[in-house]
Amino acid sequence: MVSTPVIARFAPSPTGRLHVGNIRAALFSWLYAKKAGGKYLLRLDDTDTERSTEEFAKGIETDLAWLGLAHDLFARQSDRIAEYEAAAGKLKQAGRLYPCYETAEELERKRKLQLAQKKPPVYDRAALKLTDAERRALETAGRRPHWRFKLESEKTGFDDLVQGHVSVDAASLSDPVLVREDGSFLYTLPSVVDDIEFAITHVVRGADHITNTGVQIQITRALGAEPPAYAHFSLLQGPEGRPLSKREDAAFSIAALRAAGYEPMAVNSLLARLGTSDAIEPRLTLGELADGFDISHLGRADIRFEPGDLDKMNAALLHLTPYDAVTARLDAAGCNLGPAFWDAVKPNLVKFADVADWARVVQGPIAPVVEDADFAAEAAALLPPEPWGIETWGAWTEAVKGRTGRKGKALFMPLRLALTGLDHGPELKNLLPLIGRERAEARLRGASL
C-alpha cells in the first residue's frame, strides 16, 4: 500500500505583519512536512479585500524567506474565485447553502434579545422559513442576501494530533456565513476548497481554530471529500499574558526581530520547542530542527513569549556557530580578524552586531583603565617577546604574580581593565595574542591604542 505524501500548508491573511505567535503555524507545518519528506504550501488568504494589501503580502514572503521556510507550492485565494463560486453552487444545489436577508442591525437586535432571554446567541434560521414570494419581495425592496451554510445538528469528532479526540457540537453554533451580500467570500469556504484541491493532508494551526475545524469538516464532506488530519497547538501569549495581536504587538513581529538583530535560527529554535516536552536548545539548521521535531510533543496549555528567552537562545546559537558560517558577515561588518578572533569572542556575543565592539577592543583605539600605574608598568616590563599564543597569558601572569605578589582578582582585574578598558569579556588567554605586544604594552602604560 502506497502512503499518501504529506502536504501541509500555511495560510496567512495579508492584513498585517507576521508575529511570533502566528509564525508558529508556518514553522510547525514546515517542520512536519519536511520531516515526512513532504511538501509545503504557502497560501495567501486574501479574500478580505478591504484589509489585505500587497505590502503585507510581500512582507509575509520576506519574513518566511528570512526564516528559511521556503515553500514548494504557492497560491493566492484572490486568483481562485471561480473555484469558490463553483463550490458555492454545488452547496446551493444540495440545499446546504441558503440565502439570508437580515441586515447587520437586525441580526444584532436578535442577538441582544437572545442574550436578554438567557439563550445562546445562535442564528434562528428564520431565512429558511421564507417563501419564494417573500424572498422576491425582499430583493425587490433592495435587499441582497448573504449565504449561510446549513450545519447538521450533530457532534463532529476528529482525532487531533495534539489535542487528542475532539468533539465540536454544531447544535450550539450559528450557521456560518460563507458568502457576503456583495458576493465576496469569507475565509471558511475558500479554505476548505483549497485544502481539497491542493490535496492538503495535514492542517497545523492554533487551538483557537478548533470550532472552525468542526464547521470545515462538515463543509468538506458536503463537497464530497474527506477532511485532512488536524493538529491544534497551544497559543502563544505576550509577556503580559494576553493573546498577541498583529496591530498591538509590533515589537514581536518577525520584521521587528529581524531589525533588532536576532538570528533566524534562534527564532526558529525557540519557537519550535517553546511549550513542548523537548529541551529548548539551539539548532544551526532547519534540517536539524526538523529531524528532532515531534508534533505529539506540542503542549495544550497556552504559553508566554518572553523576549529574554530569545536573547538567551540567540546567544547560545552564536556560541555554536563556526567561523565558516559567518565569514561573509564578518567581512561585511569590517570585523573579520580571522577564526581565532571569532572563536575568542563568540562566547560573549548576544547578537552578532556585538562583534564590532570586540573588534574595537582588539584593534583599538580604546581608553585603557589604569588604576595603579606602578603595577601596570611592572606588568608591561614583564611582557614576553612575540610570537604569542594561548599559553602566553598564563606564563605572563605567573611572572607578574611572582614579581608583585598579587593574585586572584587583584592580579587579573587590573590587567583586564588596562588591556581592554572593560571589566568583563572574552578569556584573555584568547584575546591577548590578538591584541599583540605593541598594543598591550602601550595600554598598560596608559596610552590609547
H-run or E-run covering 323: helix 323-333
437 phi, psi to nearest 5 deg: -65, -40
The residue type of 283 is R
Per CATH, the architecture of 373-444 is what?
Orthogonal Bundle (1.10)
Q: Please tell me the pTM assigned to this model.
A: 0.92
- Which residues of the chain register pLDDT less than 70? 1-2
C-alpha to C-alpha distance for 88 and 248, rounded to whole angstroms: 35
Instruction: Please name the residues in contact with 381: beta carbons below 8 A apart, sequence gap of 6 or more.
Output: none
Return the bridge partners of 156, or none: 168
The two counts, helices (H) then strands (E), for the chain are: 18, 12
Per CATH, the architecture of 1-95+152-320 is what?
3-Layer(aba) Sandwich (3.40)
Contact 381, 330 (CB under 8 A): no
User: What pLDDT sits at residue 245?
Assistant: 78
C-alpha to C-alpha distance for 200 and 181, rounded to whole angstroms: 29
C-alpha to C-alpha distance for 97 and 91, rounded to whole angstroms: 5
User: What pLDDT sits at residue 263?
Assistant: 98
Return the bridge partners of 177, or none: 148
Contact 393, 417 (CB under 8 A): no
User: What pLDDT sits at residue 254?
Assistant: 96
| Extents of the domains making up the chain | 1-95+152-320, 102-143, 323-363, 373-444
User: What pLDDT sits at residue 1?
Assistant: 43
- pLDDT tens digits, residue range 175-226? 999 999 999 999 999 999 999 999 999 999 999 999 999 999 999 999 999 9
Sheet holding 146-149, edge to edge: 97-100, 146-149, 177-179
109 phi, psi to nearest 5 deg: -65, -40
- pLDDT tens digits, residue range 271-327? 999 888 788 899 999 999 999 999 999 989 999 999 999 999 999 999 999 999 999
